[in-house]
A and B are shown apart, each in its own frame.
Chain A
């Protein structure tokens, strides 16, 4: 973990601002405490984009301060929906990372995502199910990619749903497999119907992300997703 943080150090300009972000980043990548606790009032997107480096320059990176301020001003950070969920999967980090990294696999276990199209090494196009048979679409960028350890993404500016997050793969102690942690933030754009977002990502985003991670675990460990849909019952 230290080596990863070290890599990031080299690729960043040494300003006070980025030092504190880098520290946060190191604790995100290597830490055992809750990520969202550590973030407190900061926006996840701000931090993720601020440290995006290593040849994966993201256009938001230089403007993160203002972007973050904009988000805070426009919506109040409290309006952001933030979720942190972790599951332990009895498979190697490599196997899990590889499956996840092919974003086109994600709809296999993410119920609200209808499809993901990978556009190039960095960009992908997302289509999600919305209420009343509608769909919502956006483009997202990978803003940090560390093989077998971490994938961070953010929607491109102007997306209908501003979202960012990362998934981290780290070894669980002893023989317990790999810990997969997802941290996500959705910012509700001004004017956008909050309820629609809530519907889209579930009334209980915590539960929805939790369920998705659980399905990911089921798929990776057992090769299928446990279900009772379509079984017999009294009419």
Chain B
């Protein structure tokens, strides 16, 4: 990140201007925009692997030493991901708008459509990667907005039961009341042990990480610099991955939606190996999941607005960040209104 970069990657709005090649959108259309910027034409986009786009990251070369290959751009998410201006602003430019901006059907409010730009498709992909089968029990670490939608999605995809893990009481409460999850407060009991007992000693069939590395001062550029200095320090705090590897049942799946950027230390690979786990992960394929979520929302099957606990004017964004970061005032998700 650089001082002055505009942040924000979850947004809805109205088209005010289009480039001359944009075919599917016109001025005045209300749209929800995927946080992933994808060209729609490369091999990955054509395979619906939108966040792996070959063409949308103008600074892809920065990623290559770290990841081997470059992935898609993301709005307002550091120069490693393209250095695109973000959307916590009054206006934003949408590249490849035909693919990135999806029209909001009649009858949905901004609050209903907004989570469908990022948090909900992330949750849905997290659950989708688990290949849920009849009778499966899914454990979800993290009950932030992504976690909430992960829980909901796991049920949508047929999970027998979802067990949600966090330590913030109102987030656990939302998981129980809005989505019918069983919950574990990991400050009260060992999550691994509780999961074992709650699953008949088998362990959850799939474990989903909706926590990630927790924005902790160290950004993506930190990781990049580090790699240039050769392997020295680990930056991520992979508590959740460690716990998931140990807690998951044999032959189960880990789905990792929480973001990781650098290197993991103390990874219990022996456990993952002995139990024959499958690990799946990645930035979400927004354009793949957004249309189906809008469809469900229009039909009234889901109302994603329930995660919003706070609405603030854009001017108060600084305060909003503080409230969200420290989960003050029972904050789960904030919508900013320009």
Contacts and interface: CB of A to CB of B under 8 A. Distances in A.
Interface string A178-214: 0111000000000000000000000000000000010
B110 interface: no
Given A37-B188, A88-B202, 20 more contacts: A33-B198, A34-B194, A34-B198, A37-B194, A84-B197, A85-B197, A85-B201, A86-B196, A86-B197, A86-B200, A86-B201, A88-B201, A173-B134, A173-B136, A174-B135, A179-B200, A179-B201, A181-B197, A181-B200, A213-B201
Interface in A83-104: 84-88
Nearest to B163: A32
A150 to B, nearest CB: 15
A42 interface: no
A176 interface: yes
B294 to A, nearest CB: 31
B5 interface: no
A33 B188 CA distance: 13
A172 interface: yes
Interface string B127-142: 0000001111100000
Interface of A: 32-34, 37, 84-88, 172-176, 179-181, 213
Dominant SS among interface residues on chain A: mixed
Interface string B227-267: 00000000000000000000000000000000000000000
B102 to A, nearest CB: 36
Contacts of A172: 135, 200, 202
Contacts, number: 49
Contact of A34 (B161, B189, B202): B189
Q: Considering the complex of A and B, which 7 residue pairs feature the smallest CB-CB distances, nearest first?
A: A174-B135, A179-B200, A173-B135, A88-B200, A86-B201, A87-B201, A173-B160
B137 A173 contact: yes
Interface of B: 133-137, 160-161, 182, 188-189, 194, 196-202
Dominant SS among interface residues on chain B: loop
Contacts of A33: 182, 198
A37 B196 CA distance: 14
A154 to B, nearest CB: 22
Contacts of A175: 135
A161 to B, nearest CB: 24
18 contacts: A34-B194, A37-B194, A86-B196, A86-B197, A87-B201, A88-B200, A88-B201, A88-B202, A172-B135, A172-B200, A172-B202, A173-B134, A173-B160, A173-B161, A174-B133, A176-B135, A180-B200, A181-B200
B200 A176 contact: yes
A87 B196 CA distance: 9
A96 to B, nearest CB: 13
A181 B196 CA distance: 11
Given A34-B189, A86-B196, A174 B182 contact: no
A179 B198 CA distance: 10
A39 to B, nearest CB: 13
A173 B160 CA distance: 7
Nearest to B202: A88
